[in-house]
Structure 1
Amino acid sequence: MSTMTDIAAAARVVDAVKVYGAGDTEVRALDGVSVDFTAGRFTAIMGPSGSGKSTLMHCAAGLDTLSSGSAFIGDTELGALDDKRLTLLRRDRVGFVFQAYNLLPTLTVAENITLPIDLAGGRPDREWIDALVDVVGLGDRLHHRPAELSGGQQQRVAVARAFAGRPDVVFADEPTGNLDSRAGEEVLGLLGRTVRQMARTVVMVTHDPVAAAHADEVVFLADGRLVDRMAAPTADKVLDRMKAFDGRTGTPSAAARAQGGPS
């Protein structure tokens, strides 16, 4: 039987420190965080406003650099790569889903999904793309353009695009932030199905306990530090955990954030 040490991490940071500014204006967004994101699992990152959750995701994904410590995708240390190799790694091994869908309006759904592969000069794996389209439920929309889709459908296209190149890990930053609750549930369910049915890895930053409940595990940050991990989360358990932060920090309540307040 496998133990946690036997299971590979799709991404991880070790003793991660990220400092912005200097002197009186210095802010330690990450203060010695070590955390692994297990391959084949859906992990949510939560914490009060200013806890460092988005900074952690950006540094783990190679979108930002650490002040000290290390970040890895698989066994590759990001800090050891020059700009060109880092760009190639992000293109080939990392997928991204953001709050804004970032679709090209002149391209069809099918063209948007394969765009990163096409830009890289690659050839899409049609069997994989077809299976992905089936999972995200866009088979009857492939020839539509983004303006002809609802917000939830556009985000499903963005999710399919993120997975199209079979990345080691997909990072999702508040992926349901622009969606109503029903469309948001559809996108979260889709992320979960992609992890389970297609053996993918997702790391999601969210402020919403309901969204976090779709994950296999929740990682909690506060004041730039890792303070807790929760397996098999429920919305109620996550909300209770967040209330402990709110009482200490005076940040907006988790319930308020779940209704679209500050993250």
Structure 2
Amino acid sequence: MTAAARVVDAAKVYGSGETEVRALDGVSVDFPAAGFTAIMGPSGSGKSTLMHCAAGLDTLTSGSARIGDVELSGLTDKQLTVLRRERIGFVFQSFNLVPTLTVRENITLPRDLSGRPADPEWIDALVDVVGLRDRLHHRPSELSGGQQQRVAVARALAGRPDVVFADEPTGNLDSRSGAEVLGLLGRAVHEMGRTAVMVTHDPVAAAHADEVLFLADGRLVDRMPEPTAERVLDRMKAFDGRAPGARRTPQEVGP
């Protein structure tokens, strides 16, 4: 199966000596094209670090990360910026919409900034998929949280990216809105042929994926095809007994 993105022997180390934190410790994984992959694990497991390095938002200490056949470590900052703009879409927990722009303007913003306007027919199809045709001239403050995240999903897909990386995309949403957003990501994969990689802590969200990868202490420890919320929850419970003092990455240290 063709990989839209992959990491091989990925290692990410912060600090040195006694303060060294090994956020990723030799992770190798393919993210299949036209597939929906969820990444789960306890706080400090390296799941956000893995996504950030796979997406070119952060660099590996060693190992390799590729988008298609492009090795990210060999790119300049400018080339990385172009690759992220042209081949990658991002959805974050905090929506990240521009408050002064309308829904339509937010959706097309990345393409407008690139100087390569989005395909009008594709944008039109996306608007229908996310169900916001009657909100196109509204601004983010006039939308619910779920509607704002649907705009963010449409924006991520506007340039027909190879891969959409979603970091806790339902973290700020109620269960109904979250299910709508997850359904949209699933439709983008299974009906539009896109690829989605999602970091989540929610077993219900993970159950929307085709496969779940489980990380612990920077290592890939398990994978689950055709997940259900119940099976994912049972697997996550197994992490509750892990040893005290497990490593935590700077990105994943929480309150």
Corresponding residue for 1:34? 28
Say whether residues 1:132 and 2:126 are aligned partners: yes
After TM superposition, the structure 1 stretch with the greater mean CA deviation from structure 2, 123-132 or 52-61, is: 123-132
Name the SS of the counterpart of 2:107 in structure 1. Answer: helix
Structure 1 segments of 4+ aligned residues over 6 angstroms from their partners: none
Corresponding residue for 2:90? 96
Work out which of the residue numbers 216, 238, 241 in structure 2 matches 1:244.
238
- 1:148 Cα offset (Å): 0.6
Letter in 2 for 1:146: P
- 1:246 Cα offset (Å): 1.2
TM-score, structure 2 as length reference: 0.95
Count of matched residue pairs: 247
Deviations 1:25-50 (A, max 9, x none): 00000000000000001100000110
Corresponding residue for 1:51? 45
Q: Structure 1: which 5+ residue stretches go unaligned?
A: 1-6, 252-261
Corresponding residue for 1:176? 170
Deviations 1:103-144 (A, max 9, x none): 111110000000000001112101111111111111111111
Corresponding residue for 1:66? 60
Corresponding residue for 1:258? none
Q: Measure the CA separation in 1 of the matches of 2:99 and 2:43.
A: 33
Work out which of the residue numbers 16, 26, 34 in structure 2 matches 1:22.
16
Letter in 1 for 2:233: L
TM-score, structure 1 as length reference: 0.92
Deviations 1:196-230 (A, max 9, x none): 11111000000000000000000110110001111
Deviations 1:131-185 (A, max 9, x none): 1111111111111111110000000000000000000000000001111111111
Letter in 1 for 2:118: P
Letter in 1 for 2:71: E
Q: Structure 2: which 5+ residue stretches go unaligned?
A: 246-253
Letter in 2 for 1:152: G
Corresponding residue for 2:249? none
Identity over aligned pairs, percent: 81
Work out which of the residue numbers 210, 220, 234 in structure 2 matches 1:216.
210
Q: Measure the CA separation in 1 of the matches of 2:112 and 2:243.
A: 46
Corresponding residue for 2:79? 85
Letter in 1 for 2:133: G
- 1:248 Cα offset (Å): 2.2
Higher relative contact order, chain-length normalized (CA < 8 Å, sep 6+): 2
Q: Measure the CA separation in 2 of the matches of 1:123 and 1:131.
A: 15
Change (3 A) 1:195 1:75: same
Once superposed, what is the RMSD of the aligned Cα atoms?
Answer: 1.2
Q: Measure the CA separation in 2 of the matches of 1:87 and 1:33.
A: 24
Corresponding residue for 1:11? 5
Deviations 1:29-72 (A, max 9, x none): 00000000000011000001100000000000000000000000
After TM superposition, the structure 1 stretch with the greater mean CA deviation from structure 2, 52-61 or 241-250, is: 241-250
Q: Measure the CA separation in 2 of the matches of 1:137 and 1:38.
A: 27
